[in-house]
């Protein structure tokens, strides 16, 4: 087999060094890094393009730092984006500053709001410059191929039918509903989530505020993210309550939105039907083991993240960087051992556990309480402290913007 390029062994069998299932942030970043290091890699993405709405569009300072280390930052920031240098939260009628990114020890002291499809397209474009990179869109990864107790490739299907890919390493980067994680045969620790999220968009007009605002009211949480021409709106609901909300009717839902953000009352009619409202179910879980011989899971496939803090993309990217740092030399030698895969989990497990633990604290202490409350809502003590002492706002900024044990490109 050619060292750097995926090879066609038979008309319906390909061979490569690393085959990645899933072209989300984890899969695309790992694909890019391996190809850049001269490793033959195939990334499979079941959709025809990256153009899906509301995939989470936050690019955090630590991800921007990685893009800088890769020499890609200037190009990335030429794409349309909005900079979020601080986060403010509104409890009832009281607005409180919550996180301030301006003191972070990173090149970019802001979160870049950019459609995820632009980010993934950009990464794909950068990766395609390397001979070893193959991206197969509209191609679904299927079951792994096992021989002698080791995963040696996987089955896949595109418009022309089923085929096989043989690989030294298969990576499951296929997200929260990963099918590859099942093949590892490890237990899934489900940590629970009290909420789901309804996403929709409303026009943004001249005279609207520039800021991304989270509004917390009795029984309701509503976030509006400035996306230039439109507001990306997230209405957080108690888990499993969407059917009851639909049964109440669309006019009532529009009224709820207008009550939380009165300045959009004139345009809530843009939510013309329930088809304009997308339900995203929230899950927080993790595999007890992220690997088996020949197969590794990273990103949400290894640990589904809550949307709290908007850190899931960042963690997925960090996993990809850690995996590339730890595995490139072994992939080049064509000698990836199970111990190498164990090292990736060991490296990334602590940040994952701590981040999920913090998300659970917010879910259980703040979100559950707000969704269950009916009286006037006052900011919790912690939030009041953040409002009173600007220096404290650097702590949530650091946790959200950089996270725990940030990775750097070492290959």
127 binds ligand FAD (CB under 6 A): no
Cβ atoms of 21 and 180 closer than 8 Å: yes
> Which range, of 54-62, 212-220, 260-268, 289-297, touches ligand FAD by CB under 6 A?
54-62
282 binds ligand FAD (CB under 6 A): yes
Taking the least distance from each CB to ligand FAD, the nearer of 115 and 312 is 312
45 binds ligand FAD (CB under 6 A): yes
Taking the least distance from each CB to ligand FAD, the nearer of 25 and 194 is 25
Find the shortest distance in angstroms from Cβ 318 to ligand FAD. 11
Residues 211, 90: Cα–Cα separation, whole Å: 12
Cβ atoms of 57 and 232 closer than 8 Å: yes
User: Out of 6, 18, 19, 23, which residue is the one contacting ligand FAD (CB under 6 A)?
Assistant: 23
Taking the least distance from each CB to ligand FAD, the nearer of 115 and 307 is 307
Cβ atoms of 13 and 163 closer than 8 Å: yes
Cβ atoms of 100 and 394 closer than 8 Å: yes
Cβ of 206: how many Cβ atoms within 10 Å? Answer: 4
Find the shortest distance in angstroms from Cβ 18 to ligand FAD. 15
65 binds ligand FAD (CB under 6 A): no
Residues 143, 172: Cα–Cα separation, whole Å: 11
Closest CA to 185 of 301, 337, 285, 288: 288
Taking the least distance from each CB to ligand FAD, the nearer of 176 and 393 is 176
User: Out of 170, 221, 223, 313, which residue is the one contacting ligand FAD (CB under 6 A)?
Assistant: 313
User: Out of 24, 61, 294, 403, which residue is the one contacting ligand FAD (CB under 6 A)?
Assistant: 24
Taking the least distance from each CB to ligand FAD, the nearer of 170 and 386 is 170
> Which range, of 1-9, 203-211, 298-306, 372-380, touches ligand FAD by CB under 6 A?
298-306
Find the shortest distance in angstroms from Cβ 187 to ligand FAD. 19
Task: Report the first-to-last Cα separation within the chain, whole angstroms.
Answer: 23
Find the shortest distance in angstroms from Cβ 275 to ligand FAD. 18
Taking the least distance from each CB to ligand FAD, the nearer of 110 and 387 is 110
> Which range, of 6-14, 41-49, 182-190, 245-253, touches ligand FAD by CB under 6 A?
41-49
In the shown chain, the binding pattern of residues 153 to 192 toward ligand FAD, with x for contact by CB under 6 A and - for none, equals --------------------xxxx--x-------------
Half-sphere exposure (CA, 13 Å, Cβ side) for 133?
22
Find the shortest distance in angstroms from Cβ 172 to ligand FAD. 9
Cβ atoms of 285 and 304 closer than 8 Å: yes
- How many residues of this chain bind ligand FAD (CB under 6 A)? 35
44 binds ligand FAD (CB under 6 A): yes
331 CB-near residues (< 8 Å, 6+ apart)? 17, 18, 34, 39, 168, 169
Cβ of 125: how many Cβ atoms within 10 Å? Answer: 12
Cβ atoms of 278 and 54 closer than 8 Å: yes
> Would you state the torsion angle of the CA atoms of residues 221, 227, 230, 233, taken in this order, to the nearest 10 degrees?
-20
307 binds ligand FAD (CB under 6 A): yes
DSSP string over 317-372: HHHHHHHHHHHHHHHHHT---HHHHHHHHHHHHHHHHHHHHHHHHIIIIIIHHHHH
Residues 303, 360: Cα–Cα separation, whole Å: 14
138 binds ligand FAD (CB under 6 A): no
What residue ranges bind ligand FAD (CB under 6 A)? 21-27, 44-47, 55-56, 58, 140-141, 173-176, 179, 197, 280, 282, 299-301, 305, 307, 310-314, 316
């Amino acid at each position: 087999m050619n060292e750097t390029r995926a090879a066609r062994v038979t008309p319906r069998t390909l061979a490569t060094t690393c085959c990645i299932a899933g072209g989300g942030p984890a899969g695309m970043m790992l694909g890019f890094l391996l190809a850049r290091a001269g490793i033959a890699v195939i990334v499979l993405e079941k959709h025809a393009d990256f153009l899906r709405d509301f995939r989470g569009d936050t690019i955090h300072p630590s991800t921007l730092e990685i893009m800088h280390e890769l020499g890609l930052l200037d190009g990335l920031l030429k794409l349309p984006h909005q900079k979020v240098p601080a986060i403010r939260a509104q409890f009832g009628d009281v607005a409180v500053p919550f996180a301030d990114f301006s003191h972070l020890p990173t090149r970019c002291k802001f979160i870049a709001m950019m459609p995820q499809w632009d980010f993934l397209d950009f990464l794909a474009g950068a990766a395609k410059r390397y001979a070893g990179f193959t991206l197969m869109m509209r191609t679904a990864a299927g079951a792994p191929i096992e021989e002698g107790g080791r995963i040696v490739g996987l089955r896949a299907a595109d418009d022309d039918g089923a085929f096989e890919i043989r690989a030294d390493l298969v990576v499951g980067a296929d997200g929260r509903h990963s099918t590859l994680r099942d093949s590892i045969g490890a237990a899934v620790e489900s940590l629970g989530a009290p909420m789901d999220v309804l996403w929709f968009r409303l026009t943004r007009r001249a005279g609207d505020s520039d800021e991304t605002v989270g509004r917390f009211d009795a029984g309701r949480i509503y976030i509006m993210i400035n996306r230039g021409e439109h507001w990306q709106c997230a209405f957080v609901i108690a888990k499993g309550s969407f059917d009851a909300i639909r049964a109440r009717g669309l006019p009532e839902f529009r009224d709820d939105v207008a009550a939380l953000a009165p300045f959009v009352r004139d345009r809530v009619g843009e939510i013309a039907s329930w088809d304009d409202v997308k339900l995203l179910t929230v899950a927080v879980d993790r595999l007890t083991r992220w690997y088996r011989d020949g197969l590794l899971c990273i990103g949400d496939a290894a640990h589904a993240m809550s949307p709290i803090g908007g850190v899931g993309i960042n963690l997925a990217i960090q996993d990809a960087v850690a995996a590339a740092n730890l595995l490139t030399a072994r992939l080049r030698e064509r000698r990836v051992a199970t111990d190498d895969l164990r090292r990736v989990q060991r490296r990334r497990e602590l940040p994952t556990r701590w981040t999920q633990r913090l998300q659970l604290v917010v879910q259980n202490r703040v979100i559950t309480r707000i969704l269950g409350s009916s009286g006037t809502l006052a900011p919790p003590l912690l939030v009041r402290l953040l409002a009173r002492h600007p220096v404290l706002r650097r702590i949530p900024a650091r946790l959200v913007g950089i996270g725990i044990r940030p990775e750097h490109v070492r290959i």
